[in-house]
Structures are given as structure tokens and as C-alpha cells.
Amino acid sequence: MLIPRFNKAIKTSFLTLFTLLLLLIVITTVAIFYLDYRTPPGLMPVINNNALVINDINIVMVKKNQVLKNRQVVIQNGRITAINNANFPVDENIKVLNGNGAYLTPGLFDMHVHVYDRKYLMLNLAYGVTSVRNLNGKKMHLRWRDELQNEQWLGSNLYLSSPILAGKGTHALNQEILSPQEGRAEVNKAKANGYDLIKVYGYLDADIFEAIIDEARLINIPVAKHGPHPAKDSDWSYVSGLQSLEHVEDIFQGPLNYQFDHQALQTIAQKLLDANVPVVPTLETFDHLTQLSNAKQTFIDSLRLDYLNPLYFDIESHFTIARWLNDDKKQSAYHLKKQQFLFEIVRVLNEYKVKLLVGSDAGTMYTLPGIATHNEMLLLRQAGLSNFEVLKAATINAAQALKIEHDYGSVEIGKVADLILVIQNPLNDIQVLKAPYAVIKKGQWLGKSELEDIKSSAKNTDSYFWSVIGLIEDILTRYIS
């Protein structure tokens, strides 16, 4: 009697499990399909103003270390159409705002971010970061970029890399490449899917790395590489002319082989200058882990964690943050020593006239969109750059690297009106940009109240459910298609 009952119980349990699994597959499939049509609540609208005049302002010239005083800027159809002396007569139908002697700069670029939520793009904008380059692209990012370009909601301009092309054994969020043929295929796939550039790790076999670079050059798609050096056993010619090289920490870990070697650093700086490729230091992410290692929970308590997407907050908490919180005093002290050497690397690169770009690696650990950009700019100052050099790295240098200088990167007639207005001169203190008096996004004025509304809305990130669905979509898109 017991055996039939037991068998029946097993069959019932199996049937229940199968039904639940089938239901989960159906729900996930429907949800993924719905992603293309879903717009979450709380996104800020785009308001196309016909014309705007900002009078009595000082314009910070990022191509030259100077300020044009007592000026007036005219904006029409989202672009700067005139720069006049202050109080120049304008059409009475055009709205005139008084700048009261404030300072106008181009909107900032963060050239190394990881965007896990639409609200991250809003939060960046609230801090004057009007353009970001996301360096681990997913299908959801293509969708968000289309929404922004179609003016469905208000956020920073989004430039997208491919999924990260990495070597054997990489984690699920990257694209594993095991042969030169796979590398070439992924480059072509990324361009066909609409990504703006290729992101490649340096920890690839030389033949795979070189195949990726060759194919990208052949089909004319830019490449950003993790680590300011070639892949192991590859030649420096393969980094020449890339869009950028990421993380000065990887100079220490790579060609310097974890040695505080100041003489070897000079040689590397010269090679980078000869390669004619910009470097994104990402000092903020190492500073972040250093503070986690040394101050631990006290540092965490100082952060605005309510801005972080819940799924990726949990991923970072379990797989990254715990690691640094468990550091002992010896390891924590080593991080502080290493941080000072990273400052030295940046200082030397700047002395050698290697072009630098601002990139915070926001989205890693608990680094916050927008706020991380300004932290990176402050760290560049601490590394020895002048306020002007930092501002240049965050504006015109980035626009030149992206080859969009004709539209962005400086305050000039004809350019898109992505601008920041601050009370004090950022050439005297770069941190004044962290609290803008106003941000102008393609001619749309965002004053103090609008910026506070954006920050408030940015706390309402996507739910855990929809974030998981987006993650599943990314994995399926890369490994099944």
C-alpha cells in the first residue's frame, strides 16, 4: 500500500514542479517581449522650448584657459544660435533669463559608466553630466538610447559599447570569446545591432585580441580597451588609435607587474603618447574600494544607496563589497599606498601630454551616477591636474574622442545646447559644478526645482522583477541569438 502512495506522491510533486517551471517560463517570455513596449513610471518629460536667451553670464572656454565675461547666449531649436555681449536686444517673444553673472560651461561627459537603470541617466543629468558612455552594453541599453533619441523622456545622452568581449572563464555578464573567428563575428554582430563601439578586455590571448582589433578597424567601429596597454604578447600598434584605454590601475597591475616603478612608468607614458590614444583613469572606483577597505560600514553609511537599482545593489553587495569589507589593516594600508601611486601615474601621463578623459566607473560597487563623476574630477585635481585640465577632460576631450566635437564639448555657435550654469568660476574650484544653478539639456531649462524633482524621481528605480527580466533578456540575447 505504501509504495503506490509514495509513487503517486512523487508523480504529483513532479507534476507540480513541472507546472510551476512551465508557468515561470511563460511569465518570463511574456515579460521579455513586453520590455520593448514598457515605459516605467516617474520618467521626466522632454519639453521643447522654441527659444531661450540667457543674459548676463560668463562663458568658460574649455579650449582655452579663459572666461568670456558679460555675455548673452541665444538658444533656438536646441542649439546655440548666437553669443552676444550682455543685454544685446532680442526679439520680445523670446524668453529671457537673467544669469546674474553666473558661469556657463558645456555639459559634462562621463566616459566610463555602467548604467543599470533608466533613472541612472536622469540622476546623471541632475548633476550636469549630460552625456555618458556605457561600457558593457545590453539590449536594454539600445532600447533606452532609442527612447532618449525619440525624446520619450529626459536623461543624459547615451553612448553604448558592445557587451564586454572577454576571455575564457569570464562571468555571465560578459561575452566569452574563445577564438579569433568568434572575436571577429562578435565585432560584426555588435555593429549590426547598433552599438557605438566595441569594449574589449585585455585578458585575451594575443591572437584573439588582435583579431578583434583588426576586424573593428576593417568595419570602422571604435574600440575601448580595458587596461592602457596591449594584450599579453601583443604589440603596442594594436592599441594605437583606439577610442580610449581604461583604468590606470591596470598599468600598475599589467606592465608594471605590481611594482612601484617610477622609471618604468616614464617609458609606458611615452608609449601611450606615441599610441595617440586617450586614457580614462577611473580613480573613483579605486578610491571607493579603498574607503570601503579602511572606513568600512562608516563609509557605506555616508552614501545615498537609495539611488541604486535593487538587483544590482544585491549583486555588488554579495560579490564585490563583502570582499573589501573583510580586508585586514595590512591590506587596507596597502590600498592607501597604491592609491598614491595611481595619482602618480595620472600626474606622469598628464606631464607627458597623454590625453585624459573623465570616467568614474559609476555603477560598480556603490558608486553613484553623477556624484561619482564629480568625485572623479576631484581625484584628478588631487593627482595634480589643474581645474582647467580637469574640465577639459570632462568636456572637449571627450567630445573629440567620440568624434562629436562638431555638436558637443564647448560653448560655441551651432553646437547642441547641453550646458551647465554655476554661481562661481569652475576654473577656480572644479567642485562648484557638483551643485549646478541650472542644467540646460538640448535647450530645455532645468532650474533648482526641476533638478530636485529629477533627484527625487531617480530614487524610484526599476523593481527587482523587471531588473531580473532585463538580465535574463541580456543573457538570452547573447547566448541564444
Same domain, 270 and 390: yes
- The pLDDT assigned to 36 comes to 78
For residue 444, tell me if it sits in a domain. Answer: no
Residues 12 and 152 in one domain: no
- Is residue 337 assigned to a domain? yes
Nearest CA among 86, 155, 99 for reference residue 124: 155
Residue 11, domain extent = 2-35
Residue 43, pLDDT above cutoff 70: yes
Beta bridge partner(s), residue 198: 223
SS3 164: coil
Residue 1: pLDDT over 60: no
Residue 481: the pLDDT is: 60
Query: Within a domain: residue 232?
Result: yes
Which of the two residues, 172 and 398, has the higher pLDDT score?
A: 398
pLDDT (average), residues 37-47: 88
Element (H, E) at 266: helix 262-275
Identify the pLDDT of residue 6.
47
pLDDT tier at 12 (50, 70, 90 boundaries)?
A: low
| Least confident residue range of 114-128, 147-161, 172-186 | 172-186
| Structural domain count, the chain | 2
Q: Are residues 20 and 112 in the same domain?
A: no
Q: Last residue of a domain, which of 389, 414, 439?
A: 414
The DSSP line for 358-415 is: ----BTBTT--TTHHHHHHHHHHHHTT--HHHHHHHTTHHHHHHTT-TTTSSS--TTS
Three cell numbers written together for 425: 568660476
pLDDT tens digits, one per residue of 372-409 = 999 999 999 999 999 999 999 999 999 999 999 999 99
Q: Within this chain, do residues 203 and 320 fall inside the same structural domain, yes or no?
A: yes
Between 310 and 1, name the one with better pLDDT: 310
104's grid cell: 556657463
Amino acid (1-letter code) at residue 283:
L
- 197 with 316, same domain? yes
Residues 231 and 316 placed together within one structural domain of the fold? yes
Same-domain pairing of 237 and 378 = yes
Claim to verify: residue 360 and residue 227 sit in the same structural domain = yes
Looking up residue 233, the CATH number of its domain turns out to be 3.20.20.140
User: Which residues, at least 6 apart from 313, have a Cβ–Cβ distance to it below 8 Å?
Assistant: 305, 366
Residue 466 within a domain: no
The pLDDT tens digits for 247-268 are: 999 999 999 999 999 999 999 9
In 117-270, beta strands by DSSP E: 129-134, 157-160, 165-166, 175-176, 198-200, 223-226, 244-246
The answer to whether residue 246 scores a pLDDT higher than 50 is yes
Residues 253 and 393 in one domain: yes
Question: End of a domain among 414, 447, 465?
Answer: 414
Same domain? For 11 and 111 the reply is no
- pLDDT of 302: 95
Which residue, of 364, 380, 414, is where some domain finishes?
414
Averaged pLDDT for residues 186-195: 96
Q: Is residue 293 part of a domain?
A: yes
- Residue 27 scores a pLDDT above 80: no
* Residue 297: burial class (beta carbons within 10 Å; 0-12, 13-18, 19+): exposed
Query: Considering the chain, what is the average pLDDT of its residues?
Result: 93
Angle (nearest 5°) at CA 317 between 315 and 319? 65
pLDDT higher at 13 or 46: 46
Confidence (pLDDT) at 10: 56
- For residues 274-300, average pLDDT: 97
Let me know if residue 450 belongs to a domain: no
Instruction: Say if pTM beats, i.e. exceeds, 0.85.
Output: yes
